[in-house]
Structure 1
Amino acid sequence: MDASPSTGELGKADVPRFVIGSTMRHVLVMTSTGAAGLIAIFIVDLVSLLYISWLNDPSMTAGVGLATVVMFFTISINVGLMIPIGALVSRALGARRPDDARRLATSCTVLMAAVAAVVSLVLLPLLPLILNAMGAGAQTVEVARSFLWIALPTNALMAIGMAFSTILRAAGDAKRSMYATLSVAAVTVILDPILIFALDMKANGAAWTINIARLAYLYVGYRYLTRSHDLLERPKLASILRDARPFFAIAVPAILTNIAAPIANAFFTSIMAQFGDQAVAASAIIDRVTPVAFAGVFALAGAIGPVLGQNWGAQRYDRMRQTLKDALTFTVVYVGSVWLVLFLVQVPITEAFKAPPETAEIVRFFCQLSGFIWFFISLVFVANASFNNLGYPLLSTFFNWGRATLGMIPFAYLGAHWGGPNGALIGIGVGSVAFGIAAVITAFWTIRRLERQAAPAV
């Protein structure tokens, strides 16, 4: 029976948003609003690289692409830190414990900012070693190093903005979370051409734009949380220490899960670097096109977490299973549609970036193959979102690292050996098949196990 909780005593307004109504509707609303914000950010990143490519310097384009690999590593850690915030806050709200939700939101934000600051401090002195290990040329490495020395120090500000956006989503306020994310896009659209071209700052101008956009993100998210929700309080050391254990119990495996992708990306970049700056430039373009095209998948992984978390708190296991089914339905339709679009626009994409012949050939091949690659990667994303929000973060770590190592490294390496850069792309797709299917099957198993554990003993 799919009856909503009684509203006689509590009133309908007190019922957590995701434990009533259509689960598909919740998935679509949360995903569409999340995707809108992500697409805005990814598009401005794409436009930033487009601007850089117009400088007609392949080493500049490759350098920004190299810097992006490192930035992807820091953002992946931040996303891993977001996961416990969404899981813990949404679960507390689902169980109707607003005081706990407020305390957890505040403590987890402080912890997330602290970890992000430490990550930046560790990475900065290691940049020469990291960048040179990717095998790019000296000029490309120098562009990347300069870019990162400007952008990495504000990683903690980005972390706080991401934390605020996650708290809004955990409360079911997808619209305001989207607006906070859109502030990043608005700032970037305005400032990028001014700093890159008008002030002739080139790649460094794009890096300074990132810093200013992060400040805007933090400010807008804070204003929404304090004006529209009562989910922040003054930080207390005792609360932070108390909440650190449940936070890191989810965050550590979630971070280990998430850094698999940037490490795999760095490995792939090193493979492409063997074929010269034009291949690295192609990899940079693919890295910008992919998140724009498949933003719906990234958003879906974040969208179903609060829905699953609130229904777990309310012990609605039937709705949890249906949420997972709805997410898979969305994945099939979305990835298939994007694949068709990329196939149709493969030539205009390369022309927009003024890509030289070798770069253009690799980018076009990716567009032709993208749906095959990303369907199975998307299955892993959906399953990982379930694992992270339902108390099985180590399974997420296993599947992500499995795909990024056993499912990628040997296949990409052999593909590159036999078929060059295009062969490496084929290898990524082939290696993802088994892990994607196994991850989804395991996700349904975890929900069944939670339901059995919650059933009263006979």
Structure 2
Amino acid sequence: MAVSADELGTQDIKKLLIKQAVPSSIGILFMSVNILIDTIFVGQWIGSLAIAAVTVVLPITFLISSLGMAIGVGGGSVLSRALGANHKEKALHTFANQIMMTFLLSSIFVVFGLFFSNEMLLLFGAKGSIMKPAREFFFPIIISVPFLALCMMGNNIIRAEGKAKFAMVAMIIPAFVNIVLDIVFIKFMNLGMFGSAMATAISYFMCFAFVLWFFIFKSELKLRARHFKFKIPIIKEITELSIVTFSRQGVVSILAIILNHTLYTYGGEHSVAIYGIISRMLMFALFPILGITQGFLPIAGFNYGAQNYERVKESVQLSIKYAAFLATVIFVVILIFAKPIVSVFTTDPKVIAETPEALRWVFAASPIIAVQLIGAAYFQAAGKAKKALLLTLSKQGFFLIPLVLILPNFLGIFGVWIAFPIADILSTLLTGYFLKKEINTKLIQTNDGIL
């Protein structure tokens, strides 16, 4: 049963977090399984070079589409707090402005991407024999990106309304469509990378169709023509918080550029393929932690807007506790089953031999990342854009990128893999400091701490 917006401020936090986090986790799971299976199909039916090509192209498309995610998350915080404060008209104007901003900005970036496709592919690491399959994959995907951006934006608003199950379905539909079409286009029609891209593009459109249906027939946010006017104060508030998410994705894209070039320099094309497998596993394995983080956001945002600080504090405590437990379980599974997991993706003996150790190192600090993820999400939900930006960028921007640039000069390719757990530890310590300070000053209705 869906949660109404008002229930975000009244239901038991444990039950509410489960209701919000479980559907979000399932949705992310299906999306992650989709990416995993897509990578397996590409690796088994086309080759490990195709995995490298996908690893180059996806950061470009996700950078553009993350405009929608950023506007969705930033505007979702504004919308949740407006609903919590019973400002319904502000919530409606916020949603309408999000739609216009997402479509306009993503379309501009897509046109830019089409005109400078070769330059972008080279920048993101399409070197040597990676370029040809990367180009085949790039064009169908880039054209579909505005649909993906609107899906990402809409999905965050669906969760902000408390309708996590509908958000889950919105993520399951493209996963199912993409897997079926992958089989048709790659296996039976032998369309190679172009077929994989077409399957992905069609799946984005189907997701958009479902999100559109939800807002027309199921949403509590009933927009009218008067809401579709740019409101500068609302745009400013959305932008301040959206910059947090978009900056994070921008830094992730910069990291992808640096990683792809560094991996190619120190290990060649097969090292890019190795990271392609690891990056898919990162998203797949951490799906419950990401689901808890997404489930936490509307709860914290609504109750912060309603000044129910005790409920905000409780949601922080429980989210960290649940996410830390699940992250530890995931780490143990990766530690034990790294080699069998890698063997599913490819038959390339060199990739199979080198990936398990790299995978274990990348996941080495995963048991503690809950503090970093939930802590950064709290500041975003509370509308504290500067701290949210600082903490969101801390892992990739302040720690991981410098480490990836420095360590391989001394440790070779191993320096890339060891950089990940070091960055996790440093960013968690930084976030933990700010979060504990916030709880002991702002959320002071009770005196017990969480750390």
- 1:10 is aligned to none
User: Structure 1 residue aligned with 2:435, among 443, 449, 452?
Assistant: 443
Contact 1:308-1:323 at 8 Å conserved across structures:
yes
Equivalent residue runs for 1:334-413 within 5 Å:
334-413=326-405
- Per-residue Cα deviation, 1:246-302 (whole angstroms, up to 9, x for no partner): 222222343223322222132122211111111111111111111111112222332
- Range that drifts further, 355-364 or 175-184: 355-364
- 2:273 is aligned to 281
- 1:66 is aligned to 56
- 1:294 is aligned to 286
Helix, strand or coil at the partner of 1:65: helix
Q: In 2 relative to 1, CA 234–215 (structure 1 residues): closer, same or farther, beyond 3 Å? A: farther
User: Structure 2 residue aligned with 1:245, among 217, 224, 236?
Assistant: 236
Counterparts of 2:352 and 2:226, CA distance in 1 = 54
Counterparts of 2:222 and 2:97, CA distance in 1 = 9
Contact 2:362-2:420 at 8 Å conserved across structures:
no
Counterparts of 2:368 and 2:126, CA distance in 1 = 30
In the alignment, structure 2 segments of 5+ residues that lack a partner are 446-451
Counterparts of 1:357 and 1:15, CA distance in 2 = 52
User: Structure 1 residue aligned with 2:303, among 305, 311, 317?
Assistant: 311
Equivalent residue runs for 1:50-449 within 5 Å:
50-55=40-45, 57-236=47-226, 239-242=229-232, 243-274=234-265, 275-446=267-438
Contact 1:16-1:96 at 8 Å conserved across structures:
no
Counterparts of 1:440 and 1:109, CA distance in 2 = 34
Shift of 1:178: 0.7
Q: In 2 relative to 1, CA 430–190 (structure 1 residues): closer, same or farther, beyond 3 Å? A: same
Contact 1:301-1:382 at 8 Å conserved across structures:
yes
Counterparts of 1:319 and 1:130, CA distance in 2 = 46
Counterparts of 2:45 and 2:359, CA distance in 1 = 24
Number of aligned residue pairs: give it: 441
In the alignment, structure 1 segments of 5+ residues that lack a partner are 1-12, 454-458
Counterparts of 1:52 and 1:217, CA distance in 2 = 22
Shift of 1:231: 0.7
- Per-residue Cα deviation, 1:133-179 (whole angstroms, up to 9, x for no partner): 34443331222123122111221111222222222211111111111
Contact 2:102-2:150 at 8 Å conserved across structures:
yes
Contact 2:4-2:163 at 8 Å conserved across structures:
no
Counterparts of 1:164 and 1:427, CA distance in 2 = 35
- 1:456 is aligned to none
Q: CA RMSD in A?
A: 2.4
Task: State the TM-score, normalizing by the size of structure 1.
Answer: 0.89
Counterparts of 1:379 and 1:266, CA distance in 2 = 27
- Per-residue Cα deviation, 1:22-79 (whole angstroms, up to 9, x for no partner): 2233223222211111111111111111111113533222111211222332343332
Counterparts of 1:436 and 1:428, CA distance in 2 = 12
**Counterpart of 1:321 in structure 2: which amino acid?**
K
